[in-house]
Each structure stands twice: as structure tokens, then as C-alpha cells.
Amino acid sequence: MSQASTNLLPDGDAVWHCAGVQPKALRNLLGHYPTGVAIVTTRTPQGRNVGLTINSFASLSLEPPLVLWSLVNHSPSLAVFRDCAHFAINILAHGHEALARRFANPAVEDKFAGVSLREAPEGLAAIDGAIATLVCANDHSRTVGDHLLFVGQVVRTASQPGRPLVFHAGRFTSVQEGEAP
């Protein structure tokens, strides 16, 4: 293996790059960090379901129970999520790759057509078969870089056993049997 292909110095240390990394290079680098995959849903005041695939979801606080996720500033769904009272984070199971791709595709007009749903008491569509769903009050949002960061206070949850869908190195994968607690 050549030094250039491994990006290592002769003593085995990684090469340090400048802080002004280009967006594509940063995206590739961040792809080394596996993330869970979720679909976030809400409903417009007119009653239309809105949803999209995210992997920018994280726990923020246990007391109070807060989670966060982000949405790019040019998303057509930005205003709906910014102004909603509640949203639901649906953590996808291993077999949900097609569903994740569907909700990530802006060309799909009705992402919910033919999708098995449950309705949360807050009136939100929840993805049937999700291994966990967290219904959140839209606590606040803030523009950070090229994204709007959402903080939600968890007000209701549902869960079922299953292996999570994971995104790593530009592809969908899963935790192998026996790895999950």
C-alpha cells in the first residue's frame, strides 16, 4: 500500500489537513461515522402529512427529555417544520431502506402513499414498524450554518424490538445480530 493511498506518514500517524476543508471532502470524512436513520413527520395546519429522512438526529438531554435534528435551509419542508407545534422522529428498522430512500427523494410527490401508518394522539403520522417513535413538542429552532437546528421536547414514545437501519460510508447497513444489547 502506498503512503498516498493510506494517507499515513511513515511513522503511522494520520496526515492532518487544513481546517478549510471543502464540503464534499467533509461529507466524505463524516461518512466514516455511522448514524441511525429516521423519518421525521409532522402535519400542516391544513392536515397534510409532511415527512423526510434524516440522519442528523441525536439525544440532547434526559432532564428535560430533549432531542435535536437539523434540516438544510433550502428544504421545501423547512417552513412546515419550523412552524409546527409537534413533530415525530421515527427510528427506522433494518428492513426500511426503501422507505428511507422514498422519504429522502424530493421527486416523490406523496411520500405517504401506500405507507403503513399509525396516528399519534397529537395528530401526527407515525411510521408503522419503526423500532422507536418519539413525539416531540417543537421547543425551538435556530439557524446554524446552512441548516436549521430543531430542539424537540419528547412528550410521548412508542417502541418495539428490532435492529436499527444504519447509514455508513454512503450506504445503508445494520447492526449485526448479537451486537445490540
What is the third-level CATH fold of 23-170? Pnp Oxidase; Chain A (2.30.110)
Task: Write down the pLDDT at residue 52.
Answer: 96
- Quick one: which of 145, 161, 148 has its CA closest to 87? 148
Rounded distance between C-alpha atoms, residue 60 and residue 124, angstroms: 22
- Quick one: which of 76, 157, 75 has its CA closest to 124? 157
- Quick one: which of 113, 97, 95, 94 has its CA closest to 51? 113
- 150, 87 contact by CB (below 8 A): yes
**What pLDDT tens digit does each residue of the chain (181 aa) get?**
444 444 555 556 666 766 677 778 777 776 666 788 999 999 999 999 999 999 889 999 999 999 999 999 999 999 999 999 999 999 999 999 999 999 999 999 999 999 999 999 999 999 999 999 999 999 999 999 999 999 999 999 999 999 999 887 777 777 776 544 4
Q: What is the pTM of this model?
A: 0.82
Cell numbers standing for residue 137: 413538542
DSSP string, 106-138: TT-S-TTTT--EEE-TTS-EEETT-SEEEEEEE
Task: Write down the pLDDT at residue 62.
Answer: 95
DSSP 8: B
Name residue, grid cell 422522529: 89
Which burial class, exposed, middle or buried, applies to 177 when counting CB atoms under 10 A from its CB (0-12, 13-18, 19+)?
A: exposed
